[in-house]
Amino acid sequence: MDNQDYTTAVIGGIRLFLFGFKETPAAPFVFVTHGRGGKAEHIFDYCRDLVKAGLAAIAIEQRNHGERLLDPAANEGWSRHHAADLYANFLGTAMDISLLLDFIPARLGIPIGRVGMTGISLGGHATLMAMRLDSRITAGAAIIGGGDYRRLMALRAAENQCPPEQFGEYFNADLEKTVLKYDPIHYPEVFADRPLLMLNGGADRLVQPECNERFARALRSHYRHPERLKLSIYPETGHETPPAMMAEAVAWLKHWLLSEKDPFAA
């Protein structure tokens, strides 16, 4: 289907919204993901900003969102199932990204060269998880997300007046095993020297910057090139994305994906 400035395709039951491939078919492309409760059209302007920077962009809808929505309650706030539902959503989306990287060349004829990933809130979580799972994502910009899920849920439980002795009812042993199996903070070595920008609001009470401060500390010893890792905290910003934050994400992805020399060489 043709639209004014994007086309769509379906791979493996996932609709892709493709921006910039007509204008710059050989450009590196960036996967873009939205926040909890959102849908693809909410990130179209972000995709357009990436195209203006010389990149191409692919927006997809996260698991259980947009046209993929099956259980609205799973996207709601704090509950006994919130921690598991939220994790399943963005972990599933990250797995979708790996599937798409396998099939985009075969289905669309688009080669896999330098590939970026970015997203907002739930999309920030998905960005970090996708980089954790797939080394083909060569640069990332995670916006108001976090790389330490257990700590995030502990902080969220406290914000929702959950007594500490009851936390195990919300974050049970089986979820603990799954988070240990997948969560980025437990695998900092797989990020080694891949350009990663994490942007957080210093006044964010939903995804506290502490989660990425902890993650950044785990990452630093794996970066021989420290300029490839940046945690950018906006002190007065809550769980929101001011224009300066979005501009920083675009500039980061442009810098690392469009460099004339190979920035990923050792």
Q: What CATH number should be reported for the domain whose range is 6-258? A: 3.40.50.1820
Per-residue confidence band for 1, with pLDDT thresholds at 50, 70 and 90: very low
What is the rounded distance in angstroms from the CA atom of residue 122 to the CA atom of residue 142?
10
Q: What is the pLDDT of residues 9-46, one digit of tens each?
A: 999 999 999 999 998 888 999 999 999 999 999 999 99
92, pLDDT greater than 70: yes
Q: Residue 157: pLDDT band by 50, 70, 90 thresholds? A: very high
Name 7's bridge partners: 2, 18
Q: 57 or 259: whose pLDDT is higher? A: 57
Residue 25 confidence (pLDDT): 82
Collect all residues with Cβ–Cβ distance below 8 Å to 130 and sequence separation of at least 6. Answer: 31, 93, 94, 97, 98, 117, 137, 140
Tens of pLDDT, residue by residue over 213-258, are: 999 999 999 999 999 999 999 999 999 999 999 999 999 999 999 9
The number of CA neighbours under 13 Å toward the Cβ of 209 is: 17
- Of all residues in the chain, the percent with pLDDT exceeding 70 is 96
Distances (CA, A) of 125 to 19, 41, 91, 106, 163: 22, 19, 8, 28, 26
Residue 263 has pLDDT above 80, yes or no: no
